[in-house]
Chains A and B, each alone.
Chain A
């Protein structure tokens, strides 16, 4: 078996047993990229030379008998909205086409301390706004399971790279489903952690109160490994939670006996494709057979959550993206006569339409006379949604839902209809709205052979339970599908 097909956990084991070297692992990753990324187009920037140097350093450390972390020498791809010092970080936008951060995100520093290998930066929807990775200024990423289809988004590059075997691990970010939805479309595992469990310092903000960085991999164990490496309180992020986290890889084996699985009826409604619904319910049955109990629950505010999500996220985005003005970094329009022209032209030329649309919406809902009608109502609905989730967890330990109503759509199919595009987020945004953890787990394929994902949602800081449940399922079905042939 080729090295590129192996999981990070397996590669780490092989490395420690001297069955292969870090340089070999890194080379395998870059050779896979060279072979398939022309089709998949997941990477925006490759970091090959530095990665090989890093791998050589890991090999030297191992040779010197140093005990290294399980992530040492493991190739990781990073979504291009996470700042990497000295390595271009574009947010897939013309606005930051040349931006080289002078600092690294906290998650990057943590991974560096564990001797990971930065393979490169991954494509995404511009500023993480989108569900298909089609709003990238640079390129369209293809779904490795069907190159005519989108990988989902906004972390489409991350999902595609992992699914295509270019890297065993990737980081994405999730504001309304941007880790879980592409993971689902690409048949991999993706975790949107509890808000506040992973530092956002260095993640270029889309919607500060909803954004979380999340791990993506082909196995549950790998997701647990990467999540354990990046979570934890950070003094640089005032919204990060103060608590201790366990080693998530140590508690995967516990099984699901007695676990109460809630099925919120609002998540299985008409809009959900029947293949998707059947596959998720099939997976629930399988867990039930392992001793889990299934209960019906209701989350009545769900139909309204999408509008609350678009108001809150756009409002925050309109403010977060105001700093891109051609003054301090990034794109500046070549022609301007005065300050106002510099601002307007830079921003109009530097941002794509989807970003502009959200900035406009956000500006509007915050503007004088509309704040109470829109933004405030959105925030009130957010509170109500969170309360409903909290109440549902009195009756169950976790919820299982589909991640998205459909499997991956064709490239170009929805891009001209933002509302249709937004509707695909309806099952995932509530998790961000309520600040909960959500795990996307592959659970079969539709009639066209496209991956389907189920979403496990738990109370705050219940990642251990989510991962254990997913791991149980993964073992039960004998592992997820292998990397598709490309």
Chain B
């Protein structure tokens, strides 16, 4: 078998989380009673006209900035004509030759070592969603629910820059994280608020030309996207290995069965008869507004990830956990601002004990009493040897529930680390006396009992013993025996 390479391009459709629909003032919401969020406009009643929601333009431009696009301040909308019962006007208002944003890119991280790849973004345009068809086996026809008609969408079209399903997944995750970070889409897959069409072609490795591509529709989850790409790659290679050729066509992905099937061939391709939407005038976004939207962007997740990895030397795992949780990330940054400790020490606590306690209590960080100042002071107490790490675990539990200085807690509970040799020697002697058999084993070469003996000493010191000193004393005492 030859060595093949796959070429993947993605079209991501994301529903925008505006209050109202794109062309009328009906509520934009999921899960309402059927046909309850509709008006004559989104039902395409004769005589009705669309009016463009300003937030849709804002959100799309924000996404355009986030993906490094050129913003077409002057653009238009077009009609895409086709008949289907979920499309009441029999045309979708979309954008054809002049999208709101184009020529952008997204840098995605392909592995934990931070290998980066730039994926081109061809364009982002605004358009309206269609309604939903409800099928029921008990009923001979289909039912149409128009609630989703006119829900605003942005379509983000990538260049055919991805060479594996993993790259596609990384790109999709990146797009989703940005949409969520910008708060322009809630990206709820189970509600269909983010969906994608996938273009796949296969070629011999090293080839510069593109073969016919197959478009796959109906991919509603990112894990489905990975499976769909892998399935289609395999299918195309099998066809080519058998001496066949791939024709340009559209296939429908069935996520349950894990297979795709022909929807239409190129010969039967729809003729959408695009033309400029005459009911809407030219969109002209003032330059100042484009700039203001750019300034309003928060730090983007993929930028944040890189910063945490590069500036704070955090491992990918830690950095990624922070990026996925903006609250913890902000807390982390506050800790960094206070300074005094290694970033990794902060994430050890924040992503370790703190997160574990939050999980147990089913809290988010803000529901606890923990402050960056208290966490940093506690870490300082550990690093200066005032308390042990083990003691820290006790202190943090208190800090989660009470806004109290760690030094005060340590004082009140008598948790100060014991570094007095005479006190610790007495403890060591007692432990050894109670474990003569183990001492003999140890001396006989069973060194694995060492940890147990140390643990016994720590316990006897009620966790306050200076671990390093305890170890030293224990070693000496055994040697003397």
Q: State the A residues within 8 Å of B (CB).
A: 81-83, 89, 91, 96, 99, 101-103, 105, 200-205, 207-209, 235-239, 315-316, 318-319, 322-325, 327-329, 339, 343, 363, 366-368, 371, 375
Contact = CB atoms under 8 A, between A and B. Distances in A.
B176 interface: no
Contacts of A81: 47
Interface string B70-110: 00000000010101010011110000000000000000000
B275 A238 contact: no
Nearest to B43: A328
A101 B280 contact: no
Contacts of B144: 327
Given A236-B51, A238-B51, A323-B88, A204 B46 contact: yes
A127 B271 CA distance: 25
23 contacts: A89-B46, A96-B46, A101-B45, A101-B46, A102-B45, A201-B49, A205-B47, A207-B278, A209-B278, A236-B49, A238-B281, A239-B49, A239-B280, A316-B278, A318-B273, A319-B79, A319-B81, A325-B85, A328-B43, A328-B88, A329-B46, A368-B271, A371-B274
A322 B46 contact: no
B79 A328 contact: no
Interface string B98-127: 000000000000000000000000000000
Contact of B91 (A105, A319, A324): A319
Nearest to A343: B83
Contacts of A82: 47
A80 to B, nearest CB: 11
Given A103-B40, A209-B278, A322-B81, A204 B47 contact: yes
B369 interface: no
Nearest to A363: B273
B174 interface: no
Contact of B46 (A239, A316, A323, A327): A323
Contact of A375 (B85, B90, B275): B275
Contact of A367 (B40, B43, B50, B273): B273
Interface string B253-281: 00000000000000000010111001111
Contacts of A368: 271, 273
B52 interface: yes
Contacts of A323: 44, 46, 88-90
A237 B79 CA distance: 17
Contacts of A343: 83
B52 to A, nearest CB: 7
B89 A322 contact: yes
Contacts of B43: 328
Contacts of A236: 49, 51
Contacts of B348: none
Nearest to B82: A322
Interface of B: 40, 43-52, 79, 81, 83, 85, 88-91, 144, 271, 273-275, 278-281
A208 B278 CA distance: 6
Given A96-B46, A238-B52, A322 B90 contact: yes
Contacts of A102: 40, 45
B91 A322 contact: yes
B90 A325 contact: yes
Given A201-B48, A203-B47, A327 B85 contact: yes
Contacts of B280: 238-239
A203 to B, nearest CB: 6
Nearest to B44: A323
Closest 10 CB pairs of A and B: A322-B90, A366-B273, A208-B278, A209-B278, A204-B46, A202-B47, A83-B47, A204-B47, A368-B271, A323-B44
Nearest to A104: B47
Contacts, number: 103
Given A323-B88, A325-B83, A238 B46 contact: no
A209 B278 CA distance: 5
A204 B273 CA distance: 21
A455 B403 CA distance: 85
B47 A105 contact: yes
Contacts of B274: 366, 371
B276 to A, nearest CB: 8
Contacts of A208: 278-279
A403 to B, nearest CB: 25
B85 A339 contact: yes
B135 to A, nearest CB: 13
A315 B144 CA distance: 28
A83 B88 CA distance: 18
A364 to B, nearest CB: 10
In this complex, the member of B45, B81, B85 whose beta carbon has the largest number of chain A beta carbons within 10 angstroms is B45
Contacts of B50: 238
A239 B90 contact: no
Given A238-B280, A239-B279, A368-B271, A322 B83 contact: yes
B431 to A, nearest CB: 84
Contacts of A209: 278
A101 B47 contact: yes
Contacts of B83: 322, 325, 343
Contact of B49 (A200, A207, A339, A363): A200
A334 B273 CA distance: 30
Contacts of B48: 103, 201-202
Contact of B44 (A83, A235, A328): A328
B49 A238 contact: yes
Contacts of A203: 47
A88 to B, nearest CB: 12
Contact of A237 (B49, B81, B85, B88): B49
A71 B273 CA distance: 44
A82 B40 CA distance: 14
A339 B50 CA distance: 27
A450 to B, nearest CB: 34
B45 A315 contact: no
B338 to A, nearest CB: 52
Given A315-B275, A323-B88, A235 B51 contact: yes
A481 B313 CA distance: 93
A342 B243 CA distance: 42
A486 B275 CA distance: 48
Given A202-B47, A322-B83, A366-B274, 11 more contacts: A83-B47, A101-B46, A102-B40, A103-B40, A202-B48, A203-B47, A319-B81, A323-B88, A327-B85, A363-B273, A367-B271
Nearest to A369: B271
A459 B85 CA distance: 43
A201 B89 CA distance: 15
A235 B47 CA distance: 15
Contacts of B278: 207-209, 239, 316
A89 B40 CA distance: 14
In this complex, the member of B46, B52, B88, B90 whose beta carbon has the largest number of chain A beta carbons within 10 angstroms is B46
B275 A319 contact: yes
A131 B183 CA distance: 54
A368 B273 CA distance: 7
Contacts of A202: 47-48
A99 B51 contact: no
